[in-house]
Structure 1
Amino acid sequence: MKDAFERRALLLHLGAVLDAMDKVLSHSADHATITLREFLSAHSTLAKLPLLQHVAGEMTAHEFVRLVSTAFAVWPAELLETALNRERLAAVVRDTLFAANDDGWRAYAASLKDEVSWFGDQLPPLPRAATEATAGLYPSWPWKPQN
């Protein structure tokens, strides 16, 4: 019976994500380059959604909508499967929206754990290239040879 409640919680979360995506899209239609941080400061009521609290604030509103639709597109089909693929549900969101934001991912996953205790657990680590790609302007020590 717990599985049914977890699926329901994830469906409700998906609905909230889609609603936030719609609001971001409709309120930023004429501001294609507005960042999520700027958007949320102008529309503070939307900042309650855990996803909006934890994704990178530098992301543009347009980029947010594009990435969210990619990340959550598999959820309806996955939630209808007999056996719930817990890893895929979490991994697709982490890999799409939080690839370079591990702190944001951990905070987002923790925000869902009250309803879905396993969310984000036992995911394989992100590929090293994904985390190194955003290391910054200057290389870090020790220097790595270029391939």
Structure 2
Amino acid sequence: MLLRPGLGMPLQELGAAIRYQGALTAREREIAILAVAASTASEFEAWAHERVAAAIGLEPAEIAAIADGTFGGHDARERCCCELAGRLARRGSLDDAAFREATAVLGPADLSELVALVGYHATLALVLDVFDVGVPADPEAGRRH
């Protein structure tokens, strides 16, 4: 994105819209992002968003369960966001039954938002992978005091 600011800036704007203008709760959003990170094996995405998830109140056991695919969630929406985000990141689509279930749980507008979130974070994971962006050697790097 640094190499093509004309593309990077609009992508950043999309990320900001997903984060600040969407209707998914902060928990739902971070659960979905961590599920994308796990499904794409994006170490940097996982590293970065585990910190965000902890800051908004996800417990370490919940974060670990998302990473290993055993997340049970507090409610049906959180479970749906986790399962659906992982499935979309792995397969890129939903079958009819999964679509009907997701629409029943999230509603069409929030499902649309979740699909955009998954696409955005899968794109970031791809860029991070291609350019071999790993986690910082210093785990405190980038942390503001």
TM-score by length of 1: 0.31
Larger relative helix fraction: 2
Larger Rg: 1
With a CA cutoff of 8 Å and minimum separation of 6, indicate the structure with the bigger relative contact order. 2
Could you tell me the TM-score, scaled by structure 2's length? Answer: 0.32
